[in-house]
Amino acid sequence: MASSTRFVAFASTMVALIALPRPVWADPIPLTGGSVQVEIPLSSARITFMGDDFMLRTGTEDFRISFAILWPFPAGTSIDLGGVWHPSDVRGAEATVNGVHYPQLYVGHGTSGGTFTTPSLVLTGEGTQIVTEPFSFTGFVSAFDSPQAAPGFDQPVFTATLVGQGTVRAAFAWIPPEDVFPGAYTPVTLPGADYHVEYVFGPAVVTPEPASVVLLGTGVLALLYARGRAKRDRHR
């Protein structure tokens, strides 16, 4: 009788443990570190998200860069460096959540994804050039403990909404015009890397547009002129 009672107590404990709710964040997790490195021809990317007591590392072959649908593109084309992560496949992942490390998880199943948004730009000049722009990010992720997990039926290990910002950079090479073909730009790998586009989370670094620089210079000159005129008026 005693052993039967102990078995019932053990079984009840196990059921309670299994039924414990997994981590689900009501508020978005701000991403303060990590990066996403994209190889455009393969639509593949290495992904690392880092936040307060949160880390997720995974990969994908479902990352679409906005301008990739029209490259090489002629000079004067307006593009942006935004992209979309929407994995339809299932990929292995590693995560640390609330101090607990999970060496093997799985993301995908159509329950993870995110969007990178950047300003538009127009490339000018010849030769290879590296373009840097600020970006904002919104996304979500659900991680499972099995590649065969069925969303809606199997409970994820954790679910989180993600937000972040940072700086994206990409490299482009100039293709000179030839015969009836106009000059065009094509993405190339970044120096010393095997990827074409890199999003780095952190404070966004905003590079002033040339027009902004001109306006800033004009404003400074106007200020100096006004100060000089005021001094001359005081000495009259």
- Tell me what percent of the residues of the chain surpass a pLDDT of 90: 58
For residue 66, give every residue at least 6 positions away whose Cβ sits within 8 Å of its Cβ, in sequence order, or none.
79, 80, 81, 82, 83
Residue 164: exposure state from Cβ atoms within 10 A (0-12, 13-18, ≥19): buried
Mean pLDDT, residues 44-57 taken together: 96
Task: Determine the average pLDDT of the residues in 110-136.
Answer: 93
pTM exceeds cut of 0.85: no
**Residue range 134-151, pLDDT digits in tens:** 999 999 999 999 999 888
Q: Where are the domains of the chain?
A: 23-205, 208-236
